[in-house]
Amino acid sequence: MLRRSEFRAAYEQGLRRSSPHFTVFGLRRVVPAAGSYAGPCGEGMHYGITVTRKQGGAVMRNRIRRRTRELLRHLPEMGPGRGGAWNVIINPRTSVAHADLRLLAVELEAQLQRLATALQGTLQQNS
């Protein structure tokens, strides 16, 4: 995810799940019609990570982002279900900079699984 509009939509219209180290937001992504280009789309989850200035200086924010990206790299591919396109925003808390990566991985995977289940429920309700 790169566009501000995608982030705003997920924050304002999406589902939210929180845990001690992460807050995750998710929203179904609209796949453009054939022939029109609206950026890289497709099925599955597209991730965005946001870290605010109040969490620390540039070094601290970059450390939090790097650790969160590393957690995402090692997670199994998951999603709310086949046939869906989803935007997921991860807001890590400052504690991510120093917490044990194994514990963070378990927590983030559980949060994403909870979000995927909730998003699948909204998909079934709208069908």
Cβ(26)–Cβ(118) under 8 Å?
yes
Q: Are strands 22-28 and 15-18 parallel, antiparallel or unpaired?
A: antiparallel
The predicted-structure confidence for 25-55, as pLDDT tens digits, reads as follows: 999 887 665 555 555 556 677 899 999 999 9
Number of domains the chain contains: 1
Domain that holds residue 39: 4-126
Residue 1 pLDDT greater than 80, yes or no: no
As a whole number of angstroms, the distance between CA 78 and CA 80 comes to: 7
pTM of the complete model = 0.81
CATH number of the domain to which 112 belongs? 3.30.230.10
Read off the pLDDT band of 123 (50, 70, 90): low
The predicted-structure confidence for 77-115, as pLDDT tens digits, reads as follows: 665 544 567 889 999 999 999 999 999 999 999 999 898
